[in-house]
């Protein structure tokens, strides 16, 4: 990015002359908080814009960063906003805007990933994107690879910290074959890549990926799919497989429960073990377990 710009200048800029270069979505709660803060204590940090001439030859501006503050001023009925004016190209303005998005503590993962893809679409190499955004080259390369495969669900899970990047790459490498995906998940568990909460999150993401597809979709977008006999049969078969898997898990759990109950029943017949429990003030057991160890009538 070219850093030889004209000196920055702070001035009041007409809000209706500012064009948002890289619009983002914000939750109403976050936006209301911004409006409340500005109404109460004023604008603590000016927005950043770069000058442009509109089609009518009038002085206009492109917003570099500060969309939330700009919209808050507009909501408060203001006609002007304090802005730091810098002279940069549209391309550099976009990169500055993306860099601010990366630096935000609560950025939206899909926005960051879309920004990286837009930089690639502009012709930037992986190394250049890494240099301009401050991200590791290997990270950018992996992200772009997942983007090319349309793995938005895995990408968002990675960027939000739900699952590690190398685990997402392993899952994506398994393709759409459910058995291969499950094998990849098992491999990630065995080599320590996925454990505990991250393993549960990975299973959840994989489930959504299988049911709803790799793409997250867009707010307000509707996807129409044609219903065919073949599609209905495939959906039925998938549901049968899912139900069969649930039955297998239930049978396995039942077998383990019977094994535990049998072992506990044998222990409770051992007087030494019972005396030990009494010495440790553990002479009673939950009703649910007691009813299975000593069924009524036995």
- pLDDT given for residue 104 in this prediction: 56
Q: What is the mean pLDDT of residues 93-111?
A: 62
How many Å apart are CA 139 and CA 106, to the nearest integer?
A: 19
Please indicate, yes or no, whether residues 199 and 274 belong to a single structural domain of this protein: no
Is the residue at 151 inside a domain?
Answer: yes
Q: Which of 189, 215, 241 is the last residue of a domain?
A: 215
CATH of the domain at 60: 3.90.1530.10
- pLDDT given for residue 15 in this prediction: 92
Q: Can you read off the two tokens belonging to residue 48?
A: 């950043």
Please indicate, yes or no, whether residues 190 and 144 belong to a single structural domain of this protein: yes
Q: Are 164 and 194 in contact (CB under 8 A)?
A: yes
Q: pTM for the whole thing?
A: 0.45
Q: How confident is the model at residue 3 (pLDDT cuts 50, 70, 90)?
A: very low
Which residues have C-beta within 8 Å of that of residue 12, sequence separation ≥ 6?
Answer: 80, 81, 82, 83
What residues make up the domain containing 264? 231-293
Instruction: For residue range 219-234, list pLDDT tens digits in order.
Output: 434 344 455 677 777 7
Q: Can you read off the two tokens belonging to residue 61?
A: 């501006």
Please indicate, yes or no, whether residues 114 and 101 belong to a single structural domain of this protein: no
Q: Which of 58, 79, 107 is the last residue of a domain?
A: 107
Please indicate, yes or no, whether residues 127 and 75 belong to a single structural domain of this protein: no
- pLDDT given for residue 105 in this prediction: 45
């Amino acid at each position: 990015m070219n850093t030889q710009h004209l000196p920055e200048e702070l001035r009041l800029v007409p809000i209706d002359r500012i064009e948002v270069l890289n619009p983002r979505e914000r939750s109403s709660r976050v936006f209301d908080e911004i409006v409340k803060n500005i109404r109460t204590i004023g604008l603590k940090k000016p927005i950043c814009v770069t000058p442009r001439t509109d089609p009518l030859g009038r002085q206009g501006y492109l917003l570099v960063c500060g969309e939330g503050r700009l919209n808050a001023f507009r909501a408060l009925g203001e006609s002007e906003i304090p802005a730091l004016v810098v002279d940069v190209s549209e391309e550099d303005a976009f990169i500055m805007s993306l860099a601010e998005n990366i630096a935000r503590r609560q950025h939206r993962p899909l926005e960051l990933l879309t920004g990286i893809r837009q930089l690639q679409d502009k012709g930037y190499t992986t190394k250049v994107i890494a240099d301009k955004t401050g991200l590791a080259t290997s990270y950018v390369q992996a992200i772009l690879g997942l983007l090319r495969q349309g793995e938005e669900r895995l990408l968002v899970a990675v960027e939000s910290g739900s699952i590690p990047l190398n685990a997402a790459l392993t899952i994506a490498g398994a393709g759409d074959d459910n058995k291969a995906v499950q094998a990849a998940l098992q491999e990630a568990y065995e080599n320590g890549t996925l454990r505990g909460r991250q393993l549960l999150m990975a299973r959840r993401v994989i489930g959504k990926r299988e049911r709803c597809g790799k793409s997250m979709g867009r707010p307000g977008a509707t996807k129409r799919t044609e219903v065919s006999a073949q599609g209905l049969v495939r959906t039925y078969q998938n549901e049968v497989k899912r139900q069969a898997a649930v039955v297998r898990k239930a049978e396995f759990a039942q077998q383990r429960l019977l094994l535990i109950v049998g072992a506990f029943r044998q222990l409770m017949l051992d007087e030494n073990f019972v005396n030990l429990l009494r010495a440790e003030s553990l002479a009673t057991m939950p009703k649910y377990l007691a009813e299975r160890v000593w069924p009524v009538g036995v």
